[in-house]
Amino acid sequence: MLKPKVAFICTHNSCRSQIAEALGRHFSSDVFDSFSAGTEPKEHINPDAVRLLKQLYGINMELTQSSKTLEELPPVDIVITMGCGVACPYLPSKRREDWGLDDPSGKSDEEFLKVIRIIEDKIHELSESLK
């Protein structure tokens, strides 16, 4: 059986969606394939997100990920929006969720850590729901 493809979507594809892609790969690559993209991707992944994922999990997102547009995604089974604060784009999928996460960009490490922990919990929940 083919693993479902999950797209994590956020406006800039620089922080929350990148964290979700990295943690999806780290914790659940045996259950689903993780991708991320944005409607207005920034040039680089948020440096605080990069630093904290290296510290917490030993993940170097700069080696394996980059900001991408929606057009760069393969066809996906599940779309998860991060809580864009604007109308999130439509992508064809069998399942859609909005995680409604605050953007920690420009905030303290404490705020980043809260969002990272929520994403980690949601990745585990998603993985369990797909087994």
15 classed as catalytic: no
> Tens of pLDDT along the chain (131 residues)?
689 999 999 888 999 999 999 999 999 999 999 999 998 889 999 999 999 999 999 999 999 999 999 999 999 999 999 986 555 667 889 999 999 999 999 999 999 999 999 999 999 999 999 99
Contacts of 121 (CB under 8 A, 6+ apart): none
Say if strands 78-81 and 95-98 run parallel, antiparallel, or are unpaired. Answer: parallel
Among residues 130, 44, 116, 127, which one has the least CA distance to residue 82? 116
88 classed as catalytic: yes
Pick the catalytic residue: 31, 53, 88, 115?
88
What CATH number corresponds to the domain at position 11?
Answer: 3.40.50.2300
Cα 1 from Cα 31, distance rounded (Å): 11
Pick the catalytic residue: 31, 84, 115, 116?
84
Which DSSP string corresponds to 31-68? T-EEEEEBSS--SS--HHHHHHHHHHH---HHHH----
- What is the domain count for the chain? 1
Pick the catalytic residue: 6, 7, 9, 10?
10
Q: List the domain range (segments joined by +) for residue 82.
A: 5-130
The pTM of this model reads 0.94
